Copies of this chain bind each other. A is one copy, B any other.
Amino acid sequence: MDDETEFVVKPIGVIRTPFKSSEDTPIQSSKSDARGYVKVALEFLDALKSLDGFSHIILVYWFHRAKSPMMRMTPFLDTEERGLFSIRAPSRPNPIGISTVKLLRIEGTRLDIEGVDMLDETPLLDIKPFVPEFDNRSQATSGWLAKSSLTKDHSYLADARFEE
């Protein structure tokens, strides 16, 4: 691939959440019961048809306040340096985030959601239906994270070192 290849993305809407700083923001949607909403641009109203039957949706978004990435970082609650692609930190070469949230209600271009783990005013890039038959991996194992309290303790909050 040409080293100069690049692509342009444009927000399709915005994610509104209670979180104004990364310190307050839950570390993962699976660990959050915070509510928020998505506001989709009017031109995409038609694209929301049929979405209301899904219990969960995948939000693809831009980590708009992420710092420049480092190839190795020490994640939240960890003591060892990990490679960036083995952690879920927002500071990445392409700062694209994905979160699976509960879909509570759709009204026009507004989607009420539960389990938000991103900062308020996060630019939204895409919405995909979460399809359990496609997206769950019941046999998956979680590498270095298996030893971490991150995958056991649901009560902590994030910090900017690990996830916005």
Which residue in chain B gives the minimum CB-CB distance to A100? B137
- A151 interface residue per 8 A CB criterion: yes
Rounded to whole angstroms, the CA-CA distance of A139 and B138 in the bound complex is 12
Rounded to whole angstroms, the CA-CA distance of A128 and B54 in the bound complex is 24
Which residue in chain B gives the minimum CB-CB distance to A69? B47
- A133 interface residue per 8 A CB criterion: yes
Given A140-B130, A140-B132, A94 and B47 touching (CB < 8 A)?
no
Cβ contacts A25-45/B at 8 Å (1 or 0 each): 000111100000000000010
Q: Is the CB of B51 within 8 A of A139?
A: no
Cβ contacts A94-109/B at 8 Å (1 or 0 each): 1010101000000000
Q: Is the CB of B47 within 8 A of A83?
A: yes
A153 to chain B, nearest CB (A): 10
Rounded to whole angstroms, the CA-CA distance of A136 and B135 in the bound complex is 7
Q: Is the CB of A94 within 8 A of B10?
A: yes
User: Chain A residues in contact with chain B, CB under 8 A?
Assistant: 1, 5-12, 14, 28-31, 44, 46-58, 60, 62, 69, 71-72, 80-88, 92-94, 96, 98, 100, 121, 123, 125-146, 150-152
